[in-house]
Amino acid sequence: MNDKTNLDNNKTDIVAKIAKSAVGVVPFAGGLLSEIVDTVIPNQRIDRLSKYIQELDKRLTKIQSEKISELISDERFIDLIEEGFIQASRATSDERRKYIASIIANGINDEAIEFQDSKYLLKLLSELNDLEIIWLRFYLDPTTSGDIAFRSKHKNILTPISAYKGADKETFNKSSLQDSYKEHLERLKLIESRLQFDRKTGFPDFNKTTGKPKTSSRRITYLGKMLLEQIGLTT
């Protein structure tokens, strides 16, 4: 019997063991999670899912089990749970699994946010790579003295890269990617630019090389702050 056959035969047992890790506080979860896992999660992603369930369980223990049990018949709740599992199965970092678990737990516990809003935030999160999330967090406090500890931790990512005239190809590539991350955050309405105006004409000033309007600064939007709050990255 080959390894693949062994994995197939043991799949049910593996899924059951994983699902049980979240059953302690929310008794209904075992069957629900097992069904979702068995349906949408390929075998090779079981490890990712196991780690995600552990992160989710940490947060569910802070929520009354009665509150969660009342939601089992709510299709919007089931839809949110399923979306979380789908994204967790694709998450390649522990940090992202924590972000996903935070959105799910906050969606359950926060009376001010609807399930469809939490799902929308999950979709937004799925459009960002890990580096873009770090840049978004940077704009929460973009002042010169802002969040020194965070900037120091991610110095290799947050150090500006300028494509100056005569720079080598690698510098141009890195600069282009860094600019693209910020532009992507803008397209998603998570940050916004303040245009730089020509003092003489009163019109926006344009970069002669790129043809794009010059910006004096960028700042995070309310939607950007909301996403950071929901993934637990505001502190």
Q: How far apart are CA 69 and CA 32, in angstroms?
A: 11
Let me know if residue 64 belongs to a domain.
Answer: yes
Rounded (5°) CA angle 101-102-108: 95
Let me know if residue 84 belongs to a domain.
Answer: yes
Rounded (5°) CA angle 162-139-106: 140
Which pLDDT value is given to residue 46?
A: 77
Let me know if residue 152 belongs to a domain.
Answer: yes
Let me know if residue 52 belongs to a domain.
Answer: yes
* 184 and 81 share one domain: no
* 145 and 92 share one domain: no
* 94 and 49 share one domain: yes
* 36 and 116 share one domain: yes
Domain count, the chain: 2
Quickly list H helices, the chain. Answer: 3-20, 29-40, 46-60, 65-69, 75-90, 94-109, 115-126, 130-138, 148-153, 155-158, 169-187, 222-230
* 106 and 21 share one domain: yes
Domain ends where: 99, 126, 153?
126
Let me know if residue 136 belongs to a domain.
Answer: no
* 69 and 148 share one domain: no
Which pLDDT value is given to residue 209?
A: 61
What number of other Cβ atoms are within 10 A of residue 176's Cβ? 12
Let me know if residue 134 belongs to a domain.
Answer: no
Let me know if residue 8 belongs to a domain.
Answer: yes
Residue tagged 């003489």 (tokens): 200
Which pLDDT value is given to residue 15?
A: 46
Q: How far apart are CA 208 and CA 211, in angstroms?
A: 5
Domain containing 9 equals 3-126
What number of other Cβ atoms are within 10 A of residue 73's Cβ? 8
Q: How far apart are CA 36 and CA 83, in angstroms?
A: 10
Domain ends where: 79, 94, 126?
126
Which pLDDT value is given to residue 203?
A: 63
Let me know if residue 235 belongs to a domain.
Answer: no
* 75 and 122 share one domain: yes
* 146 and 121 share one domain: no
Residue tagged 């809003």 (tokens): 117
* 79 and 149 share one domain: no
Give me the tens of pLDDT residue by residue for the chain, a chain 235 residues long.
454 444 444 544 544 454 444 444 444 455 555 565 555 555 557 788 888 988 888 888 888 777 777 787 788 888 998 999 999 988 989 999 999 999 999 988 877 788 999 999 999 999 999 999 999 999 998 777 778 889 999 999 999 888 777 778 888 899 999 999 999 999 999 999 887 766 776 666 766 666 666 676 789 999 999 999 999 998 6
Please tell me what DSSP assigns to residue 203. S
pTM: 0.74
Which pLDDT value is given to residue 124?
A: 96
* 212 and 149 share one domain: yes
The residue type of 24 is G
Which pLDDT value is given to residue 216?
A: 66
* 57 and 159 share one domain: no
Which pLDDT value is given to residue 26?
A: 47
Handedness of CA 118, 123, 126, 131 (dihedral sign): negative
* 173 and 211 share one domain: yes
